Amino acid sequence: MALQAASLVSPALSVPKEGKSSVCLKDSSLFGISFSDHLKSEFSSSTLRCKVRELNQQIGAIRAQTTATESPAVNKAAPDGKKTLRKGSVVITGASSGLGLATAKALAETGKWHVIMACRDFLKAERAAKSAGIAKENYTVMHLDLASLDSVRQFVDNFRQSGRPLDVLVCNAAVYLPTAKEPTFTAEGFELSVGTNHLGHFLLSRLLLEDLNKSDYPSKRLIIVGSITGNTNTLAGNVPPKANLGDLRGLAGGLNGLNSSSMIDGGEFDGAKAYKDSKVCNMLTMQEFHRRYHEETGITFASLYPGCIATTGLFREHIPLFRLLFPPFQKFITKGYVSEDEAGKRLAQVVSEPSLTKSGVYWSWNKNSASFENQLSQEASDAEKARKVWDLSEKLVGLA
Ligand code: NDP
Ligand code: PMR
């Protein structure tokens, strides 16, 4: 059924049968349209964005000083004599739009969670929270730019100063740059997609593990959002360019595009592949965390594919025609589409459902929206590769 989709698009785009290699899809010819006309002029807006970010950082630091008082997870002296659980405290990265925002909303609505929205654009996040109708007492916005390791460390300091406990961390933010002809880089000079989606989150979660460990909440969790497109054991994961970390030579060289490739496998830059590779790193990192820390800390480590949320900002850099056709394609052809609301409820389950406490698991949902433990591809479940990615990432983010 899904294969019929191929006939809707240009002959340059041929869909491979599972497990078989195929003609390489050049992103520049997706739907038969040249992307160059659609590339945005980044320059004029970037200076302005820098200034806004500086401002955001300052506001973030001030905000974090509005200290919240820590209370034990179980309040023994509730007025009616019953034991009550305090509000859970969850950090969600990239909660200013899409899945992160929908998850923040779903959790805040229960009245059982305080959501720390860890976002690179303070004002956007505030506006998003307001327009989603999240009540003021249920969220705090704190500045975090995952494309800067200094910002990650600053966020951790600010969070600690806020005095809030950390019960659940959700690594959700991501960038996807399918039309980029040349790589762009994080503050430390890592290719932007892997630098943001993987390395920024790697440092954040490594540092915050200590805080999670201190929490007295009954179920502590670290969740890293994965995706079907990083899993080559699926049809979606076989749409070229396919994820492939190779022998990690580019990662070992620092992904800087100077004395090393900007791609993990050492190949030519390809923005769509870089995103998929970053998702493989996300799923490998979750499992490596599980192997290293689950037994000792009792923390649940999990990943998930929430469904295809074809309407989110993730596709903002894609050509307009893709953005127009992608939602109906996913709704009517692949039937993999989910709304932002539904996807938010799914991730909220992984945050809070007592039935989803199993660690080391990659969750997915079936047609009836029931969760199940899914199989990762061979590469995304390769323990040896996970260990190597962990060791190399430690060096790049300055932990080793
Ligand atoms: P969105 O673009 O709507 O959300 C991504 C969020 O990440 C935004 O809030 C964005 O901030 C934030 N972000 C980007 N760069 C940074 C940065 N440097 N520092 C801090 N935050 C940053 O996309 P989605 O909601 O779709 O994506 C959320 C997650 O879901 C991602 O991990 C993605 O891989 C995953 N996913 C998405 C699927 C889909 O079909 N959409 C399918 C499978 C997985 P800002 O608002 O400022 O741009
Ligand atoms: Mg894909 C069951 C089939 C299925 C599913 C669930 C997805 C999800 N996709 C499927 C099939 C196909 N896609 C087929 C047959 C094609 C060829 C026509 C196709 C194409 C396609 C493109 C060009 N799909 C895409 C793109 C993107 O640019 C998206 C991407 O790879 O982002 C990294 C994407 C996606 N398809 C999905 C999902 C969930 C995505 C996007 C998001 C992600 O992984 O985060």
What are the tens digits of pLDDT across the range 305-326? 999 999 999 999 999 999 999 9
CA–CA separation, 164 vs 159, rounded Å?
7
CA–CA separation, 21 vs 242, rounded Å?
10
Measuring from each residue's beta carbon to the nearest atom of ligand 1, which residues come in under 6 Å?
Answer: 93-94, 96-100, 119-121, 124, 144-147, 172-175, 196, 225, 227, 305-306, 308-310, 312-314
Measuring from each residue's beta carbon to the nearest atom of ligand 2, which residues come in under 6 Å?
Answer: 2, 5-6, 9, 13, 15, 30, 176, 178, 227-229, 235-236, 239, 272, 275-276, 308, 334, 336
Predicted pLDDT at 74:
76
pLDDT in tens, 192-236: 999 999 999 999 999 999 999 999 999 999 999 999 999 999 999
Residue owning the nearest CA to atom 14 of ligand 2 = 236
Residue owning the nearest CA to atom 37 of ligand 1 = 309
Predicted pLDDT at 83:
72
Cβ–Cβ < 8 Å for 386, 376: no
CA dist 385 → 244, 279, 382, 388, 389 (Å)? 11, 14, 5, 5, 6
pLDDT of 241 over the 80 cut: yes
Mean pLDDT of the chain: 86
Higher pLDDT, 235 or 32: 235
Predicted pLDDT at 107:
98
Q: How confident is the model at residue 261 (pLDDT cuts 50, 70, 90)?
A: very high
pLDDT in tens, 38-97: 333 333 344 434 444 444 454 444 344 333 444 678 776 556 666 778 999 999 999 999
pLDDT in tens, 104-133: 999 999 999 999 999 999 999 999 999 999
Q: Which of 57-61, 111-115, 248-252, 298-302 has the lowest mean pLDDT?
A: 57-61
Closest ligand 1 atom number to CA of residue 307: 42
Q: What is the ipTM of this complex?
A: 0.99
Closest ligand 1 atom number to CA of residue 229: 43
Q: How far is the CA of 336 from the centre of ligand 2 (A)?
A: 9
Cβ–Cβ < 8 Å for 65, 162: yes
Q: How many helices (H) and strands (E) does the chain have?
A: 11, 10
Predicted pLDDT at 37:
32
Report the catalytic residues: 275
Ligand found nearest the CA of 326: 2
pLDDT of 389 over the 50 cut: yes
DSSP code per residue over 61-96: HHHHTSPPPP--SEES--TTS--EEPPEEEEEETTT
Mutual angle of helices 43-64 and 149-162, in 10-degree steps: 20
Predicted pLDDT at 348:
98
Cβ neighbors of 324 (< 8 A, separation 6 or more) are none
Of 224, 330, 332, the residue with max ligand 2 atoms within 8 A of its CB, to mutate for a pocket test, comes to: 330
Residue percentage of the chain with pLDDT more than 70 = 80
Q: How far is the CA of 172 from the centre of ligand 1 (A)?
A: 6
What is the average per-residue pLDDT within 346-353? 98
Predicted pLDDT at 80:
62
Q: How far is the CA of 229 from the centre of ligand 2 (A)?
A: 7
Q: Residues in the chain, how many?
A: 400
Predicted pLDDT at 78:
55
What is the average per-residue pLDDT within 137-165? 98
Residue owning the nearest CA to atom 31 of ligand 2 = 229
Ligand found nearest the CA of 318: 2
Question: Parallel, antiparallel, or unpaired for β 361-365 and 300-304?
Answer: parallel
Q: How far is the CA of 175 from the centre of ligand 1 (A)?
A: 6
Predicted pLDDT at 15:
32
Closest ligand 1 atom number to CA of residue 186: 18
The pTM is what? 0.87
Predicted pLDDT at 3:
32
Q: How far is the CA of 193 from the centre of ligand 1 (A)?
A: 11
Of 270, 273, 283, 308, the residue with max ligand 2 atoms within 8 A of its CB, to mutate for a pocket test, comes to: 308
Residue owning the nearest CA to atom 33 of ligand 1 = 174
Ligand found nearest the CA of 270: 2
